[in-house]
Structure 1
Amino acid sequence: MLLIKNGYCINSEKEGYFDILVDGNRIVKIDKDIEGGFDEIIDAKDCVVMPTFCNAHTHLAMSLFRGLADDLELMDWLNNHIFPAEAKYVNKDMVYICSKLSMLEGIRSATGCFGDMYFFEEEVARAAIEIGVRAIIGEGIIDFPTPDCKNPKEAVEKTKSLKEEFKNSELVKVSYAPHSTYTLSEDTLKMVANSLDENDIVQIHINESEREVELVKSQKGKRPLEVLNDAGLLTDRTFMAHCVATDDEEIELIKNKNAKVINVPQSNFKLASGIAPICKMVKIGIDVYIGTDGPASNNNLDMIEEIRTSSLVQKIKFGEKAMDSKTILKLASNFNGLFDGIGYLKEGNLADIAVVSLEGIESVPIYNPYSFIVYALNSRDVRDVIVNGRVILKNREFVDIDEEEVKFRVKELSKSLGGL
């Protein structure tokens, strides 16, 4: 058993200074001064203890392309730089080691789960299981050959085989991952919809920019959300990244369909795509999540930065009270529809827990721990990370993971692209 002692618990059924007892992969007790025999004790004195974050949308293996093409508009960035680089450099080994690097980066900002869309997704799963983090993997479905699949039908069939392979995994879930309504025909989107079982998750990019909306209208005569809805893919199991160019009528449609929205503000800003109106969405009860997008368009996987940005930019658009610190932390710890029993410290819930040090200069003084996490915290303050009851990061060092080897291997891969 693992005991976390003396920490200040937030996003918890008992807030304040409490001990947390973990048995196996679950929280079994939250109380004052828990005593007994334990296999391991983490002293969280002068620390905040909270749930780990869920990076709900990213492309982990794209760390190889970090900084390869910057300061570009979305379609230019994709069509003239990223898609050609992927065709040339993406393979199983690349996806495995670059995803591993990205997972390590994310863990340092208290991230215990990643929603990933890319290619060779079995390698993403392998990296996640080895490190001990959670992953929702989605093999990219697109209307042209990918590094892994010759056509979208093959990608759908691969998704089915991945579902079978990981059906009993505690850490990995499989989703369908149609790329977008501008890279897929309506027939392909319907094929994906007809392939779904009742509880299947769908990840997709939607309304990323006004230019995307205009492109889809020119292709199909309607807006992306209408295309998605007509194909039967706008459901309560659909997770839509971006949703920047989304009007009030579409927000109502999302609400009525109980679909999910993933906010990725820093990538949206860097590609000059705009600001997603998530404040309006949260206000009417739409399930909103936070993600970083991929490390080639962000260019990092720091969820702490993303959380702060998500809050601050909504204040510019909707006023100073928009997206207060408690609300935004709930979005960052939202696992609804992805994994059950995570995102809130409660007896019986899964033990996905982060311990954040309050010893940094930026943590003095503290009046409100939620405010500190959202507006002052840095990833260097993240001290310990536990996922599924397993300690992955301890005293800022990875447990049983050779960080230097992972970095070395990615650096070696980058040399063929002109990396230093």
Structure 2
Amino acid sequence: MERPDVVVTGLGATTPLGGDIASTWKAVLAGTPGARTMDNDWADKYGIPVNFAATIAVQPSEVLTVPETKRMDPSAQYALVAAREAWADAGAPEVDKTRLGTVVSSGIGGIWTTLNGWDTLRERGARRVLPMTVPMLMPNSATAYISLEFGAQAGAHALVSACASGAEAIGYAVDMIRSGRADIVVAGGTEATIHPLPISAFAASRTLSTRNDDPAGASRPYDIDRDGFVIGEGAAIVVLESASHAAQRGAKVYAKVAGVGLTSDGYHITSPDPEGTGQIRAMSAALQDAGVSAKDVSHVNAHATSTKVGDLIEARSIRAVLGDDADHVALSATKSMTGHLLGGAGALETVFTVLALHDRQAPPTINVANPDPELTLDLVRDTPRALPQTDTAAINNSFGFGGHNVALVVTSA
């Protein structure tokens, strides 16, 4: 049986830059920073050395009903907001429910519910713990609620691979369609970890930027003065569909997810392999899976979190995969604007990669005042870059603690 092409027919997001796709993408192209000083006393109360984050732009309480917000952790709330937008964008298709699936991941899951529940137990006793605590905190809560929303019966999955979770979810969704399990899959990632404990933990590991006096300029991938990532929150969802199913119902198509590459480093629980071997294998596998050569690639949306070591390992890996063809590739690092959405990052950056090809514009990277001299790639800085009007391909990279590597190849429709 011939393997079906998988296309993107719907997009949805809620992010630090906007409550939907249109506002988020407009802000990205404008080079708008999403990091801001937090309106709370956490830094003083707990002695946290970081007082800023890329917080969600539109609270889900402005979009969802009160019963929905009460029975869902913020991570699931974000995902449901994004999924409803993506489903509507896809035309709310009529589909055999047994041929509809969901794959929505989170790197950490319902941590607000977990920690609030523990506080309630400690302070008020077991009788006051909410009966919905477990369905709210479980990492599959978002995908479960989205499957209920649309009646999906082909499978509801939640892959957890730290900061690669959202991209791996999309890769798994592609495989569901290719294998014949589903015609349509709602896929993506979500995260809601702007809470004192995760912030304290990341700060203790020395991976967060501490530019408290300049939150907007704190996320600076590839800048010589980068000092860590900015934690963000939000969700992004894509509706994936077999090309034949999309054509049959006359759906609009943004792009094709043509290649998936998945590897693991087997090296360290938090540090990437310094040789980038797993990253190189993931990108190479994705290109091979897509039937695309290095010369066909015009754009890369890099994982590029703004850490001293990680940014250059990835840059060297991209160069190793693309060789001299990397010279004509527009490199974007959009976490400079959105912050790092952890389990939602790979999904959001897949959306940006899809829109970059659809609109033929590579988004900018901001805050790079002094580019690292070791960077040998063509970084798009401050303003968008026009992409070729011909058929072209792009790579989206996502890497996570534990040595997870995901590369997705997106091609123009």
Do the structures match in fold with TM over 0.5? no
* Structure with larger RCO (C-alpha < 8 A, sep 6+): 2
What TM-score does the superposition give when structure 2 sets the normalisation length?
0.32
What TM-score does the superposition give when structure 1 sets the normalisation length?
0.32
